């Protein structure tokens, strides 16, 4: 139950990150998206991100955290909690109870 609460917080944080940083990053890349819609090349995508560093960093942060959270969920689904995670949950539970 405590783990579910933690994961809800992570998903909520990720949702807020996408709705703020992600949307702003995508909006600042709108000229690049228009150019890519006309003729898509990997070099156009690369240069579009290279010349808009802040947008690239924002999108990288959003995509990176999304992938990390999905990998963590899949790992938990297949293998369960690691010993360290179990200990952290027990500590948080004891802290919450006292």
Average pLDDT, the chain: 90
Q: pLDDT tens-digit profile of 46-93?
A: 988 999 999 999 999 999 999 999 999 999 889 888 888 889 888 888
Instruction: Give the domain range for residue 90.
Output: 2-97
When divided into structural domains, the chain yields a total of 1
> Residue holding tokens 């539970």?
93
Distances (CA, A) of 92 to 2, 9, 81, 95, 97: 8, 15, 15, 5, 9
**Spatial distance between the Cα atoms of 63 and 17, rounded to a whole number of angstroms:** 10
Pairwise CA distance, residues 48 & 56, whole Å: 9
Per-residue pLDDT at 98 exceeds 90: no
Instruction: Give the pLDDT of residue 64.
Output: 97
What pLDDT is attached to residue 54?
A: 95
> What is the pTM assigned to this prediction?
0.79
pLDDT at residue 85, rounded to an integer: 85
Short-list 65, 60, 78, CA closest to 11 = 65
């Amino acid at each position: 139950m405590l783990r579910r609460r933690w994961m809800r917080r992570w998903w909520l944080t990720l949702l807020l990150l996408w709705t703020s940083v992600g949307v702003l990053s995508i909006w600042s890349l709108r000229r690049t998206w228009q150019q890519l819609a006309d003729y898509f090349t990997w070099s156009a995508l690369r240069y579009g991100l290279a010349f808009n560093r802040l947008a690239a960093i924002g999108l990288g942060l959003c995509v990176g955290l999304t992938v990390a959270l999905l990998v963590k969920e899949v790992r938990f689904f297949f293998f369960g909690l690691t010993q360290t995670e179990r200990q952290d949950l027990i500590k948080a539970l004891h802290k919450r109870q006292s």
